[in-house]
């Protein structure tokens, strides 16, 4: 009898273990993460991550190398940028924000939006994807596109994506923009995107103009390497849009921030976390040029010390006689001790940029319109964006050297004026784009190599590939030098 | 698995029918005439038998023709009695501890040592507590081979890592399973820092158990020993047995009350070596810079010189001379007072043990403390002839405050280490003195600091105002109901629980202090202030239902079989909220409440749950109690793997042969080789991975992190909130399988010369395959990592223990020597394809890794660049070494060997214990060195004349390396800006005087007219002295910022370890 009881217990235990416990053991679904999300949640996630990349690492690198800003002698955070001594790990964070942050979320956005038949999200995802790939390829050159973002076994399981040559990357970007624009036109009136779109609040007309402007920027980037392709593409673009479908003054693609902790401009948040150390000070390169040219914007982009703006010679952080220097202003989020910096926007693509791009297209005769008018409209847009009046802009375009368009000059003179003027307007607010356009055109041609450069009298031409690719990607093609130009950069 | 169960069932049913019998009763007594419970009684030639009750009583039926009973009890020699009457009293004779002692094996089953075929060391209470350590786990250090213990602080609080036979897993923390009275307990590490670079180590939970409650600890080193624990056993087990109610005393009284009090003092075990030639300043900038944390100033001239700020026209003056004891003078002498009362009693139907323990500590750093209160009740009752119950309950309350380590704003040590060599640190203590203040309000209402340093903060102020506390309430225990239906059966169910409520708070003060002195202008001390509060509720439940069956089948052949069923559940629920000082901040200073935040507080909560079910069985066959063969099997089903993979089976087998039994009654056995045992075991165990590791990615609220700051959702726009979710960056392989460890071991145990020399030697090998690791992915794949099964780690080694008693006289003089030696060779054999190393700790520039072909814990760091001949390549302009662009191998944290040696002397009530231990080889990273080099306080910065780098070359114009004989570098440049992380990896070898104590037991005849049954007094010390490698002028290599985890050898300005010494008094009534 006893044995029977014991046997029964043992057998019962065994049965319980093999079948009855299945439910007991089914507790391995992580309750701390969400399993399903809607497009409304993914779109702002991608936008904010792009803005954090553009607004911090790309802004700082770009604004140093576009000679807007330089390292303060009182601190040391960005000395390596002035020494031209960047290392692979300096770029881990920004590369990750764009790839496993923004692009991964944009891919999920496309999937979830398609499932929900909400095609405008797909369109915006495409445009932002193209924008992100252009940032990446302009910074690093060859990058993975075709095989990128397919790590999950269900997506292809590609854990070491191949790198595409920059020429192919540019073709892909053009194609992705066109896909996005096509979808907008097909589905403009359905399933509106709402305020979760932190760039345009769901305004598809503005997104269309964003797409067209981006396409113009992409083609113009090829102006030196493949002018034929650039010209054909731009002419097709104008033919399609009639030249009236670009971003205008006041239509900046930008992300706004507020003073609430965690929702502050990311550059300001970065400085707060660095205990408000003021690493960034004005560079004499831009400051002296603007002052000499009676450009009132210099007082907006920088703080005023003793009634003027004082910049430091580029890279001269060893100077012990620097005295009090101007810093980037709160309007460009660069003043660590001014809480207004928290509310500066991050600008992705601006109205004045659009106007200068159109001016260049017109000057080259690839686009339509008056290049002189577009140039002046661009200046007005820049002035107005930073709180100056149209009248002040008028005075500037009438009298100052860089404000008067050389309408009768050569194409090169016109390009020089347009790009230099674009450089002024992007001071501290589109640093990466300004540095990139300098690489394409060589303008402004007034840069001075950093005095603390450890590689001699040269200029940085690219970002180094991040450690996370160098050490993890089996198909990584090899690290490059900071002085090696990217594919489209053929002009000296 | 089913086969094993069927086999066991077959075995169990092979019983005989009863026959006509005569019933006898009896009692089994120990050397003190106390009843021995649980002694085995078997009737020779029949296979019938029984077990004694709590008082040693038994009753057994003798079949016709049988009159010989065999009485066995662990720790006693076997007695064979011929029974003539109806009752019998059996007096047992204890056997020598080393030979035949009881071993608590897996599931808390007591076995005679001779029965087991694997290495297991048992330490009794006397051995454990001879140094009066506050951590029972640290008290094992040096007392057995095969164990690698690291005690980070060496005193109350802090973590103790205990690794048996080498690291086996990359994702698990490799700590041994801690089992108390049969129930595995939570041994989680309470690390509350942001990272190991800013660590708050509140200790690991295995250290909570009161050492005074422990009767013995058995260390089950290998998988063969622990196989019955299945999934939990991969890293071996430390079996803790707490005291029971049996008062084994010669006195007739059955209730014993014991009171013990210890008073311990603490100071820092090892201070870094400091230079005493140069003081505050920077000869390359402002020579005499009163603001500096640099000691790169002018040489000392002993002339009066003002220092610190000018406040209201006043400034302090002191001679410009070294303060040799500066760092030392900052710390207090720590004090711990420990009180322990225990009451034990046994009666007709039960026994109990009740203990109360208090430990009150004031730490060496001002304002830190560690208080622990423990109540334990262990009770057992005999409900009827057939049922019995045991209840063990332990309640613990721990309250502590510690300082942050590393580079945290609240790191006291970091600020102390940067004090210039001439600044008298003890004069900074009075915080009401304006010259020392950090946040005074001046007459115009402006907050100002008068402290000398513009780049560091007053460490006394930091110690006072940065306030990190943890409060833990914990109940753990077990409840057993047993049923003994007959002589052969013992069926019991044991339910165990461990419930922990834990609360951590961190206060960061808010201040915005401008200096008084215009010279300091532009260098304010600013903090937004912050507050963190986190709670965690941890529940672990563990239930075993076990059926035991014992049968002596023939005179020569016996079997003990066991079958069991196990259910486990663990749930960890944490929630925390914080006002982040780097992004948010306090509105009102010193008011630490979430209503006082400048912006939204960040709140998180997580639930982690895992469950498992197991069935297991074991059978031990013995032949003439000379040869023992044990076979075990266990099958687990775990929740952490998906259904198809969650079932896994672990077999083990071990064999023990007491070969000296064959020499019985020979003079050789009596006089030369008293005891000899050969043993061997093999086992396979596995670990199922962590919760949710095989999950697909999901979505989490987006935090866009840049280098230091971040933007986080929801965005609280005036027009309405916007939420954002991001796809996770790490995904799990849904097909994850358990990690597997396969192991074998073989050993020999010998005793010579009437037990004057006993020794034990073991060789083992284990290989862990199918590591569950997170392989880093390039972000261009869209992900940063995936969790897969890939990677092998192997360990092989030798363990040696030796105990010699050179003197043992009739007068009671006994001198004992013992030593242990452990050599473990660890190697990471394989990782995922294309993955050379996986980082388990460190920071950028210095990674602690699992690297293919190297031992676990390999340090990779930026270091000097060298040519083919190993010569250092220098920059021909500056004379400074050039640095490697990649991280290079700089050694690993595995010691080459671990050894200990000790001695005990006993004479007429005096006992002297001394224990040394050592780890030789291995390296550790020292940020203590890094920061002291940087600020110029380290001894090695004393030579400041420009010099030629020894054995260096430079690259000539033609690209050839040319021996450098004349290009000099400036040590200032080297130490303040060039020196790479790899130069801070130093030899971790040490020898420690681990324990020393002297006790005196007052002779009982002197106590006859007192209420005391016994009394003893003593002095003791632990972690008393350290001798380190010559190049280690910085820290105790045992300190670590990684707690008890895999990030070892990481002195990231970790809290210094303690030297402890004190007096003790123990009386019993």
Q: What does the pLDDT look like over B712-729, one tens digit per residue?
A: 999 999 989 999 999 999
- The distance of A460 to chain B (nearest Cα, Å) reads 19
Specify the pLDDT at position B66: 77
The encoded tokens of residue A156 equal: 């292809």
Q: Is the pLDDT of residue B516 over 50?
A: yes
Can you give the three-state secondary structure of B662-680, one letter per residue?
HHCCCHHHHHHEEEEEEEE
Q: How confident is the model at residue B43 (pLDDT cuts 50, 70, 90)?
A: confident
- Residue A261 has its nearest CB partner, among B583, B718, B780, at B583
**Cβ B709–A269 below 8 Å, yes or no?**
yes
Q: Is the pLDDT of residue B672 over 60?
A: yes
Question: Which 8-state DSSP code applies to residue A47?
Answer: H
Quick: pLDDT tens for B836-866: 888 899 988 899 999 999 999 999 999 999 9
d(CA B92, CA A489): 95
Nearest to B179 by CA among B496, B395, B490: B496
Q: How far is CA B869 from CA B269, B620, B953, B963, in A?
A: 40, 61, 10, 11
Look at A103 and B385; give whichever has higher pLDDT.
Answer: A103
b (16+ CB within 10 A) / e for A246-258? bbbbebbbbbebb
For chain A, how big is the Rg over CA atoms in Å? 26
Q: Which residues pair with B563 in a beta bridge?
A: B547, B617
Q: How confident is the model at residue B411 (pLDDT cuts 50, 70, 90)?
A: very high
The reply to whether B6 touches chain A by the CB within 8 Å rule is no
Quick: pLDDT tens for B883-932: 987 889 999 999 999 999 999 999 888 999 999 999 999 999 999 999 99
Element (H, E) at A255: strand A253-255
d(CA A1, CA B15): 12
Q: What is the mean pLDDT of residues B75-83?
A: 74
Q: Is the pLDDT of residue A221 over 90?
A: yes
d(CA A9, CA B594): 54
Q: Is the pLDDT of residue B292 over 70?
A: yes
d(CA A435, CA A432): 5
The reply to whether B646 touches chain A by the CB within 8 Å rule is yes
Yes or no: say if B894 and B921 are a contact pair by the CB < 8 Å rule.
yes
d(CA B838, CA B776): 8
**Cβ B722–A270 below 8 Å, yes or no?**
no
d(CA A180, CA B739): 47
Q: How far is CA B739 from CA A429, B87, B230, B567, B772, in A?
A: 52, 56, 12, 20, 6
Q: What is the mean pLDDT of residues B232-244?
A: 87
Q: What is the mean pLDDT of residues B62-70?
A: 79
Element (H, E) at B559: strand B557-579
**Cβ B715–A35 below 8 Å, yes or no?**
no
Residue B432 burial class via C-beta count within 10 angstroms: exposed 0-12, middle 13-18, buried 19 and up: exposed
d(CA B25, CA A205): 100
Nearest to B578 by CA among B607, B537, B608, B535: B535
Residue whose entry in the numeric block shows the structure tokens 């495409």: A126
Specify the pLDDT at position A18: 54
Q: What is the mean pLDDT of residues A242-247?
A: 89
Q: Which residues pair with B919 in a beta bridge?
A: B898, B990
d(CA B916, CA B994): 5
User: Taking the alpha carbons of A55, A61, A63, A66 in that order, is the dihedral positive or negative?
Assistant: negative
Q: Is the pLDDT of residue B17 over 80?
A: no
d(CA B288, CA B1030): 33
**Cβ B780–A469 below 8 Å, yes or no?**
yes
Phi, psi of B238 (to 5 degrees): -110, 110
**Cβ B643–A159 below 8 Å, yes or no?**
no
Percentage above 70 pLDDT, chain B: 95
Determine which of A192-196, B2-6, B352-356, B1056-1060 has the lowest per-residue pLDDT on average.
Answer: B2-6
Question: Which 8-state DSSP code applies to residue A143?
Answer: B
| Strand pairing class (B525-552; A346-349) | unpaired
Q: What is the mean pLDDT of residues B550-579?
A: 93
Mean pLDDT for chain A?
A: 93
Yes or no: say if B680 and B761 are a contact pair by the CB < 8 Å rule.
no
Q: Chain A contacts of B583, Cβ < 8 Å?
A: 261-262, 264, 269, 272-273
Quick: pLDDT tens for B864-885: 999 999 999 998 888 999 998 7
Nearest to B1031 by CA among B922, B896, B934: B922
The reply to whether A157 touches chain B by the CB within 8 Å rule is no
d(CA B1057, CA B945): 34
Yes or no: say if B256 and B1013 are a contact pair by the CB < 8 Å rule.
yes
The encoded tokens of residue A114 equal: 């398609």
Determine which of A4-18, B621-635, B660-674 has the lowest per-residue pLDDT on average.
Answer: A4-18
Distance of CA B62 to the CA centre of its chain: 51
Q: Is the pLDDT of residue B7 over 50?
A: no
Residue whose entry in the numeric block shows the structure tokens 């398609």: A114
Specify the pLDDT at position B817: 95
Q: Is the pLDDT of residue A10 over 70?
A: no
Q: How confident is the model at residue A8 (pLDDT cuts 50, 70, 90)?
A: low
For chain B, how big is the Rg over CA atoms in Å? 32
Quick: pLDDT tens for B21-32: 678 888 888 766
- Residue B615 has its nearest CB partner, among A14, A52, A144, at A14
Determine which of A10-19, B256-265, B721-730 has the lowest per-residue pLDDT on average.
Answer: A10-19
Quick: pLDDT tens for B565-611: 999 999 999 999 999 988 889 999 999 999 999 988 999 999 999 99
Quick: pLDDT tens for A175-184: 999 999 999 9
Q: What is the mean pLDDT of residues A387-391?
A: 95
The reply to whether A248 touches chain B by the CB within 8 Å rule is no
**Cβ A25–B613 below 8 Å, yes or no?**
yes
List the 679-738 stretch of B: residues with Cβ below 8 A of A.
Answer: 691-692, 694-700, 702, 704-713, 715-720, 722-729, 731
List the 105-144 stretch of A: residues with Cβ below 8 A of B.
Answer: 105, 107-108, 143-144
Q: Where are the alpha helices (DSSP H) in B710-852?
A: none
**Cβ B583–A271 below 8 Å, yes or no?**
no
Specify the pLDDT at position B1052: 93
| Strand pairing class (B858-861; B888-892) | antiparallel
List the 40-79 stretch of A: residues with Cβ below 8 A of B.
Answer: 41-42, 44-45, 48-49, 51-52, 56-57, 74
- Residue A272 has its nearest CB partner, among B582, B641, B723, at B582
The reply to whether B780 touches chain A by the CB within 8 Å rule is yes
**Cβ B613–A24 below 8 Å, yes or no?**
yes
Mean pLDDT for chain B?
A: 89
Quick: pLDDT tens for B84-138: 778 888 877 665 443 456 788 888 888 888 888 898 888 988 888 888 888 999 9
- The distance of B901 to chain A (nearest Cα, Å) reads 46
Specify the pLDDT at position B16: 38
d(CA B489, CA B51): 10
The maximal CA–CA distance of chain B, rounded, in angstroms, is 109
**Cβ B547–A21 below 8 Å, yes or no?**
no
Specify the pLDDT at position B825: 96
Q: Which value does ipTM take for this structure?
A: 0.94
Specify the pLDDT at position A6: 53
Q: What is the mean pLDDT of residues B749-767?
A: 92
Q: Which residues pair with B311 in a beta bridge?
A: B314
Q: How confident is the model at residue A144 (pLDDT cuts 50, 70, 90)?
A: very high
């Amino acid at each position: 009898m006893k044995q029977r009881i014991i046997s029964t217990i043992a057998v019962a235990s065994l049965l319980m273990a093999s079948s009855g416990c299945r439910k007991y053991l089914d507790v391995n679904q992580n309750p701390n993460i969400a399993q399903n999300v809607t497009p409304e949640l993914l779109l702002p996630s991608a936008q904010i991550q792009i803005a954090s990349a553009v607004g911090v690492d790309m802004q700082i690198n770009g604004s140093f190398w576009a000679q807007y800003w330089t390292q303060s002698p009182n601190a040391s955070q960005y000395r390596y940028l002035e020494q031209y001594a960047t290392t692979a790990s300096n770029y881990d964070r920004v590369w990750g924000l764009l790839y496993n942050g923004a692009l991964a979320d944009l891919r999920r956005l496309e999937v979830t939006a398609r499932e929900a038949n909400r095609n405008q999200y797909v369109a915006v995802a495409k445009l932002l994807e193209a924008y992100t790939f252009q940032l990446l390829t302009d910074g690093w050159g060859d990058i993975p596109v075709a095989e990128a973002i397919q790590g999950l076994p269900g997506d292809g399981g590609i854990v070491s994506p191949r790198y595409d040559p920059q020429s192919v990357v540019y073709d892909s970007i053009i194609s992705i923009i066109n896909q996005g624009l096509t979808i907008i036109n097909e589905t403009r009136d359905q399933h509106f995107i709402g305020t979760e779109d932190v760039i345009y609040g769901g305004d598809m007309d503005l997104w269309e103009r964003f797409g067209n402007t981006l396409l113009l920027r992409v083609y113009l980037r090829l102006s030196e390497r493949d002018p034929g392709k650039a010209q054909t593409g731009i002419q097709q673009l104008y033919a399609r849009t009639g030249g009236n479908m670009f971003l205008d003054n006041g239509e900046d693609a930008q992300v706004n921030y507020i003073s609430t902790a965690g929702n502050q401009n990311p550059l300001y948040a970065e400085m707060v976390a660095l205990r408000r150390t003021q690493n960034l000070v004005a560079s004499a390169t831009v400051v002296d040029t603007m002052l000499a040219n009676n450009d009132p914007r210099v007082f907006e982009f920088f703080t005023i010390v003793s009634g003027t703006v004082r910049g430091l010679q580029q890279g001269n952080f060893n100077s012990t006689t620097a005295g009090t220097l101007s810093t980037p202003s709160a309007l460009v989020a660069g003043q660590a001790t001014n809480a207004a910096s928290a509310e500066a926007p991050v600008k992705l693509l601006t109205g004045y940029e659009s106007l200068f791009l159109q001016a260049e297209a017109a000057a080259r005769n690839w686009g339509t319109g008056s290049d002189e008018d577009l140039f002046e409209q661009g200046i007005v847009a820049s002035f107005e964006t930073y709180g100056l009046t149209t009248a002040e802009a008028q005075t500037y375009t009438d009298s100052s050297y860089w404000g008067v368009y050389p309408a009768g000059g050569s194409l090169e003179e016109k390009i020089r004026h347009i790009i230099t003027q674009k450089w002024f307007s992007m001071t501290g607010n589109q640093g990466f784009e300004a540095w990139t356009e300098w690489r394409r055109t060589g303008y402004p041609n007034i840069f001075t190599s950093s005095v603390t450069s450890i590689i001699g009298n040269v200029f940085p031409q690219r970002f180094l590939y991040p450690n996370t690719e160098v050490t993890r990607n089996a198909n990584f093609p090899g690290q490059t030098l900071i002085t090696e130009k990217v594919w489209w950069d053929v002009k000296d | 698995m089913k086969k094993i169960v069927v086999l066991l069932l077959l075995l169990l049913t092979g019983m005989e029918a009863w026959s006509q019998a005569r019933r006898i009763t009896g009692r089994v007594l120990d050397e003190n005439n106390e009843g021995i419970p649980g002694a085995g009684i078997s009737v020779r030639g029949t296979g019938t038998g029984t077990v004694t009750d709590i008082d040693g009583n038994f009753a057994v039926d003798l079949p016709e023709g049988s009159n010989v009973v065999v009485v066995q009890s662990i720790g006693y020699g076997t007695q064979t009695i011929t029974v003539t009457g109806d009752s019998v009293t059996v007096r047992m004779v204890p056997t020598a501890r080393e030979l035949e002692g009881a071993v608590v094996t897996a599931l808390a089953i007591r076995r005679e040592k001779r029965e087991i075929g694997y290495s297991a060391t048992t330490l009794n209470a006397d051995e454990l507590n001879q140094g009066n350590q506050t951590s029972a786990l640290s008290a094992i250090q040096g007392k057995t081979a095969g164990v690698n213990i690291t005690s980070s602080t060496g005193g109350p609080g802090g973590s103790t890592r205990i690794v048996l036979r080498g690291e086996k897993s990359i994702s698990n923390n490799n700590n041994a399973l801690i089992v108390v009275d049969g129930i595995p307990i939570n041994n989680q590490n309470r690390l509350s820092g942001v990272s190991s670079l800013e660590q708050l180590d509140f200790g690991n939970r295995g250290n909570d158990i009161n050492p005074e409650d422990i009767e013995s600890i058995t260390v089950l080193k290998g998988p063969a020993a622990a196989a019955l624990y299945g999934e939990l056993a991969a890293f071996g087990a430390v079996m803790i047995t707490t005291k029971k109610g049996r008062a084994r005393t010669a006195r007739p009284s059955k209730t014993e009350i014991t009171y013990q009090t210890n008073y311990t003092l603490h100071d820092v075990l090892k201070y870094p070596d400091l230079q005493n030639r140069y003081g505050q300043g920077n000869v390359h900038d402002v020579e005499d810079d009163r603001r500096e944390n640099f000691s790169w100033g002018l040489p000392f001239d002993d002339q009066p010189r003002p220092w610190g700020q000018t406040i209201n026209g006043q400034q302090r003056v002191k001679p410009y001379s070294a303060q040799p004891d500066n760092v030392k003078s900052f710390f207090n002498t720590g004090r711990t007072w420990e009180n322990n009362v225990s009451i034990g009693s046994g009666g007709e139907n039960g026994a109990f043990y009740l203990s109360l323990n208090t430990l009150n500590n004031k730490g060496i750093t001002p304002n830190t403390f560690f208080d622990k209160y423990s109540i334990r009740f262990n009770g057992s009752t005999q409900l009827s002839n057939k049922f019995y119950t045991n209840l063990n309950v332990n309640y613990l309350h721990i309250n502590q405050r510690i300082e942050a380590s590393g580079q945290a704003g609240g790191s006291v040590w970091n600020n102390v280490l940067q004090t210039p060599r001439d600044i008298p640190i003890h004069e900074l203590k009075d915080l009401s003195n304006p010259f020392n203040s950090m946040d005074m309000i001046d007459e115009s209402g402006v907050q100002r600091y008068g402290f000398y340093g513009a780049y560091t903060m007053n460490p006394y102020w930091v110690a006072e105002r940065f306030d990190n506390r943890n409060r833990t309430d914990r109940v753990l225990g077990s409840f057993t109901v047993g049923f003994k239906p007959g002589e052969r059966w013992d069926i019991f169910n044991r339910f165990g629980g461990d419930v922990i409520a834990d609360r951590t708070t961190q206060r960061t003060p808010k201040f915005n202090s401008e200096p008084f002195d215009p010279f300091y202008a532009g260098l304010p001390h600013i903090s937004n202030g912050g507050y963190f509060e986190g709670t965690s509720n941890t529940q672990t439940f563990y239930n075993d239902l076990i059926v035991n069956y014992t049968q002596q089948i023939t005179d020569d052949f016996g079997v003990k079989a066991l079958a069991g069923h196990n259910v486990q559940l663990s749930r960890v629920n944490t929630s925390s909220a914080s006002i982040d000082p780097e992004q948010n901040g306090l509105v009102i200073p010193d008011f630490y409440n979430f209503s006082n935040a400048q912006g939204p507080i960040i709140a998180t909560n997580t639930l982690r749950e895992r469950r498992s079910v197991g069935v297991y069985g074991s059978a031990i066959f013995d032949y003439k109690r000379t040869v023992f063969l044990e076979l075990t099997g266990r099958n687990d089903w775990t929740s952490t793997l998906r259904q198809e993979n969650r079932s896994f089976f672990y077999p083990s087998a071990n064999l023990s042969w007491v070969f000296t039994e064959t020499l019985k009654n020979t003079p050789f056995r009596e006089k030369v080789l008293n005891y000899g045992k050969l043993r061997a075991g093999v086992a396979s165990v596995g670990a199922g991975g962590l919760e949710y590791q095989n999950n697909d990615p999901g979505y989490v609220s987006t935090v866009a992190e840049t280098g230091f700051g971040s933007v986080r959702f929801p965005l609280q726009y005036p027009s309405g909130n916007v939420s954002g979710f991001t796809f996770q960056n790490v995904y799990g392989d849904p097909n994850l399988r358990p990690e597997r460890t396969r192991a074998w071991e073989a050993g020999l145990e010998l005793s010579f010369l009437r037990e004057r020399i006993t020794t034990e030697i073991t060789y083992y090998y284990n290989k862990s395959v199918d590591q569950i690791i997170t392989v880093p992915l390039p972000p261009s794949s869209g992900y940063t990592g995936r969790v897969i099964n890939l990677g092998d780690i192997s360990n092989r080694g030798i363990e040696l223990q030796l105990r010699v008693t050179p003197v043992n006289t009739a007068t009671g003089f006994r001198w004992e020597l013992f030593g242990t030696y452990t050599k473990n060779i660890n190697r990471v054999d394989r990782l995922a394809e294309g993955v050379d190393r996986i980082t388990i700790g460190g920071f950028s520039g210095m990674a602690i890794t699992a690297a293919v072909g190297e031992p676990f814990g390999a340090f990779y760091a930026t270091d000097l660049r060298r040519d083919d001949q190993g010569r250092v390549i220098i920059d021909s302009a500056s004379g400074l070494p050039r640095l490697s662009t990649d991280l290079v191998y700089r050694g690993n944290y595995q010691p080459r060997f671990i050894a200990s040696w000790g001695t005990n002397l006993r004479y007429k009530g005096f006992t002297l214990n001394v224990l040394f231990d050592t780890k030789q080889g291995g390296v550790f990273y020292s940020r203590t060195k890094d920061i002291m080099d940087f600020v110029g306080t380290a001894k090695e910065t004393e030579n400041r004349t420009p010099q030629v780098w020894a054995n260096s070359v430079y690259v000539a114009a033609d690209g050839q390396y040319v021996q450098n004989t004349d290009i000099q570098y400036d040590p200032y440049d080297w130490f303040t800006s060039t020196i790479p992380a790899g130069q801070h990896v130093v030899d971790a070898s040490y020898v420690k005087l681990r324990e020393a104590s002297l006790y005196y037991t007052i002779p009982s005849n002197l106590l006859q007219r007192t209420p005391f049954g016994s009394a003893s007094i003593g002095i003791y010390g632990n972690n008393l002295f350290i001798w380190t490698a010559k190049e280690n002028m910085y820290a105790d290599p045992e300190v670590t910022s990684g707690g008890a985890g895999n990030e070892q050898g990481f002195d990231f300005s970790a809290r210094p370890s303690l030297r402890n010494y004190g007096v003790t008094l123990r009386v019993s009534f």
